[in-house]
Amino acid sequence: MYEYYCEQDNELLHIKEDQLLRKKLFWEIEFESDGIFRQRSNIPVKFFENEKDYRWSLSGNFINICSLVPDHKEVFQFALVKDQMRLLQKTRSGSIVFFGFFKKQPF
């Protein structure tokens, strides 16, 4: 991840790449072809706590990420643009929970 937005206390925060690098913040994600999703993160926006492996599936332009804990699912709208993936998650009222920009890393 090289940039993200989130809302905290009704204020939209924009965290840029230089801020992430300076504070050593990251969110690394991996989607495997067998439906396994893995993450490593230290950003203050948390989706799953204390877990590392999940299942993922697509539904239109939405990614469903399911925890192994029953009934815990996160849904993100996504867009792929060149070597960039954008993930967006909003509340029911339309506030941005997370809007992040990721670069594809070589294997």
Averaged pLDDT of the chain = 87
pLDDT of residue 49: 66
Residue in 69, 71, 64 with CA at minimum distance from that of residue 89? 64
How does pLDDT run across 41-81, given as a tens digit for each residue?
888 887 766 666 788 999 889 999 888 777 778 889 999 88
CA-to-CA separations, 43 to 8, 91, 93, 95, 107, in angstroms, rounded: 13, 19, 23, 19, 23
Domain that holds residue 12: 3-103
pTM given for the model: 0.84
Mean pLDDT, residues 4-31 taken together: 92
Counting the structural domains of the chain, the total is 1
pLDDT of residue 52: 67
